[in-house]
Amino acid sequence: MNLKDIIILETENFIAVNKPRGLVVNKSDTSKGETLQDIVAKYLQTQISKVTAKTKLTVIQEEFTSRSGILHRLDKDTTGVVLIAKNPEYFEKIKDFFLTRKIKKTYFAVVFYDIKKLFDGGDYLYVNLPIARSPRSRQKFAIVKSGRKAVSRIYLPKKEEFPSVLKSKASDLDRSAVSYLTEYKGKEFSFVKIKPKTGRTHQIRVHLKALNHEILGDVIYCGRNQIKFAKDNDFSLMLHASTLSFNLDEKNYEISAPFDEKFVTSFEKMWL
Q: What is the pLDDT of residue 32?
A: 78
> What's at 168, amino acid-wise?
S
What CATH number is given to the structural domain containing 68? Answer: 3.30.2350.10
Domain of 160? 104-272
- pTM of the complete model: 0.95
17 within 8 A of 84, measured Cβ to Cβ: yes
Residues 10 and 29 in one domain: yes
Whether residue 73 sits in one domain with residue 7: yes
Asked whether residue 159 falls in the same domain as residue 246, the answer is yes
How confident is the model over 58-70, as a mean pLDDT?
96
pLDDT at 231 over 80: yes
Q: From CA 69, how far away is CA 102, in angstroms rounded? A: 19
94 and 123 part of one domain:
no
* Residue pLDDT, tens place only, 152-193: 999 999 988 999 888 788 777 676 778 999 999 999 999 999
**212 φ, ψ to 5°?**
65, 35
From 72, 100, 128, give the residue that closes a domain: 100
Looking at the fold, whether 121 and 229 belong to one and the same domain comes out as: yes
Gap between the Cα atoms of 69 and 64, Å rounded: 5
Inform me whether the pLDDT recorded for 92 exceeds 90: yes
pLDDT score of 174: 72
Domain count, the chain: 2
144 lies in the same domain as 186: yes
Domain boundary among 100, 131, 151: 100
- Across 5-14, 24-33, 115-124, least confident range: 24-33
Same domain, 177 and 131: yes
Task: Please indicate, yes or no, whether residues 111 and 74 belong to a single structural domain of this protein.
Answer: no
Tell me the percentage of the chain whose pLDDT exceeds 70.
Answer: 99
Q: What is the pLDDT of residue 173?
A: 65
Q: Are residues 60 and 158 in the same domain?
A: no
pLDDT in tens, 104-155: 999 999 999 999 999 988 899 999 999 999 998 988 999 999 999 999 999 9
Last residue within a domain, chosen from 100, 115, 150: 100
Same domain for 228 and 245, yes or no, is yes
pLDDT for 82 equals 98
- CA dist 62 and 96 (Å) reads 16
